[in-house]
Amino acid sequence: MPEHDSSRLLGLWHDLEPRRAILFLINIGLPILVGVLRGETSAALIGGITGLLLSLADNEGPLASRLRLTLMVAAGIVAGGLLGAWLNTVSPIFWFAFFLAVFAAGLLNQLGKGPHFALRFGAISLAVVASLPEIIPLEYAYFAGTVLLCLLSRTVDHAINGPLAFSGPWLGAATLDRWGWTRFALAYALSATAGLWIGIESQSIRAVWTSAITLVLMVPDVRATYSRVFGGMVGTALAVTVVWLVTGISHAPALLCATIFLAAFLLPSQVTRFWAFSGMIAVIVLLAWDLASGDPRLAPALLVERMEDMAIGAALVLVFSAALFPQVSWSLLARPREGKRLTDGRVQPPRLPPSHR
């Protein structure tokens, strides 16, 4: 093989971020594989989604901070689940607790990934558990096993490779003042709560999907949020197409699992391409749900529902972002200018370093 070809292949392999890719593959794929082999696909869905959430919550740096982040987010999920088991989706207390959790998650973007994800995933866990008739012990076992798997995989990864390299700036960071953060948190909570209410009122068995979509799309930067809305729509359409093609070929668990594993492996390398990143997450969730259902007739309705949920979630994000940040939204619509930066609701010219002033 010519030297330039081997260099190109090495570069492509490096671009896939193999270290993170292997961790995502293990933590998402192994619980699903074990569940399929044991005929426990419903519990495997819990394990796979837990692995996905905890994989997204990984962080660069030394092992101690990575393990602490894992436990913090897992504790948030557990706390939300315990509260959800006590409440139900028709109780006013439930709606207050859910709104407050999401509002706090919006504010905690300021403190970093750990506090934000703990409250965000905890709110999703609250909504999921509150809407279920019961959770069987086996599903608790898969959740606990996946948490232990993530702790173990990160420990082994650190022993082999050392501290995890920088993965890019935290997307929740923003230069907002106190009122700007309050408005963002309010828009965040209103979008998620409205999405959950719409899902419940439509009697969807996956009522939390619309709410979760709003939480993925909205970040404390209006320009980035609008861009993510467009990217999320594109990614969802592509994901639905991929799942339709794969399930059209066969519903064999081996094929569905292989597709999930491929998406999990590619996922961390696509974090800067939100359309691809969100699409791969949708592929994992849709196929894991399809595996858990064991019903080939579910796929078409499932795919249509995912598109509907994305459309509703995107609309809610646009409406509440425009309502809480009208000046920024109007400036983006009326006078889009390259190189402008959004701060606390005003469009300001970018700051230059001292050598360029």
What Å distances lie between residue 29 and 1, 137, 202, 288, 299, CA to CA?
33, 21, 32, 10, 21
Scored b (16 or more CB within 10 A) or e, 170-198 reads: ebbebebeeebbebbbbbbbbbbbbbbbb
pLDDT at residue 149, rounded to an integer: 97
Identify the domain containing residue 187 by its residue range.
16-327
Predicted confidence band at 264 (pLDDT cuts at 50, 70, 90)?
Answer: very high
pLDDT classification of 343: cutoffs 50, 70, 90: very low
| Among 106, 83, 105, CA closest to 95 | 83
Residue-wise pLDDT for 214-228, tens only, equals 999 999 999 899 999
**Confidence at residue 164, expressed as pLDDT on a 0 to 100 scale:** 86
Angle between helices 30-37 and 41-56 (to 10 degrees): 180
- pLDDT band, residue 340 (cuts 50/70/90): very low
In a domain, residue 61? The reply is yes
Quote the pLDDT of residue 345.
Answer: 46
Q: Reply yes or no on whether the pLDDT at 336 is more than 70.
A: no
Residue 164 lies in a domain: yes
Question: Counting beta carbons within 10 angstroms of the beta carbon of residue 203, is it exposed (0 to 12), middle (13 to 18) or buried (19 or more)?
Answer: exposed
- Stretch 264-279: mean pLDDT, rounded? 93
- Position 76 in a domain: yes
Alpha-helix residue ranges (DSSP H) falling in 202-273 = 208-217, 222-249, 253-266
**Residue 116 counted as domain residue:** yes
Q: What is the mean pLDDT of residues 68-83?
A: 92
Question: What total number of domains does the chain contain?
Answer: 1
Q: Do 26 and 132 form a contact (C-beta atoms < 8 A)?
A: no
4 occurs within a structural domain: no
Would you say residue 242 has pLDDT above 80? Answer: yes
List the single range of 95-104, 211-220, 347-356 with lowest mean pLDDT: 347-356
The answer to whether residue 85 sits within a structural domain is yes
Which pLDDT score, from 0 to 100, does residue 4 have?
A: 62
| pLDDT interval class at 349 (50, 70, 90) | very low
Give yes or no for residue 3 having a pLDDT over 80: no
Tens of pLDDT, residues 60-71: 888 999 999 999
Q: For the segment 20-73, what is each residue's pLDDT rounded down to a tens digit?
A: 999 999 999 999 999 999 999 889 999 999 999 999 988 888 899 999 999 999
Is 347 among the domain residues? Answer: no
State residue 350's pLDDT score: 43
pLDDT at position 355, please? 37
CB atoms within 10 A of CB 138: 15
Q: What is the pLDDT of residue 8?
A: 73
Question: Residue 297: exposed, middle, or buried by beta-carbon count in 10 A (0-12, 13-18, 19+)?
Answer: exposed
Evaluate whether residue 55 is within a structural domain. yes
